[in-house]
Amino acid sequence: FTSLCCCAFYAMVISGCSRKQADFAKLRRLEGCWLMHACEKGDIVEQWIWVNDSLLKGKGMRVSGADTSITEYLEIQWSGKDIFYVPAVADQNDGKPVFFKLTAFSDDGYQFENPNHDFPSRIDYQLKGNDSLTVTISGNIKNEFREIDFKFRKINAN
């Protein structure tokens, strides 16, 4: 009986690891450069690079004419048993990274949450086909629920 329990436990651990690895691998669809034509302040770009089977690195940028400024550094990382979306914005949270845990996913969508963060407390990535991405940030600002959509188009493969 003891060896049967050990085998069952081992199988659960192995299947849990491979499941998370399979979930993380789905995030590779984000790899590349995504553009959102924005207002007079310039366009918004998210660029993602697949580093390895547990790390996707990115950056958010604002592009206005020939000027490009980085607005945030991004990571999606598989750490232990969880997957996290980790932005670091220079003028927010003292420039320190904030961790949002993956709470829901599908082949085309990923939902990350941090209920202790002021705004946003939730970040959703929704892919449509191979070249359309909507990022929705949501949460409360001054006790009022807010939701902001960013609609991107893929402009190249990396």
**Residue 93 or 149, more confident:** 149
The pTM for the full model equals 0.84
Q: Tell me: the pLDDT tens digits for 67-126?
A: 999 999 999 999 888 999 999 998 888 889 999 999 999 989 999 999 999 899 999 999
pLDDT at 135 over 50: yes
Segments of 65-131 assigned E as strands: 67-79, 82-88, 100-105, 109-113, 122-128
Predicted pLDDT at 116 = 94
Measured in whole angstroms, the distance separating CA 145 from the mean position of its chain's CA atoms is 21
Predicted pLDDT at 23 = 82
Predicted pLDDT at 7 = 36
Q: Tell me: the pLDDT tens digits for 11-70?
A: 333 334 445 778 898 999 999 999 999 877 899 999 999 999 999 999 999 999 889 999
Amino acid at 91: D
For 85-104, b/e burial (b = at least 16 CB within 10 A) is bbbbbeeeeeeeebbbebee
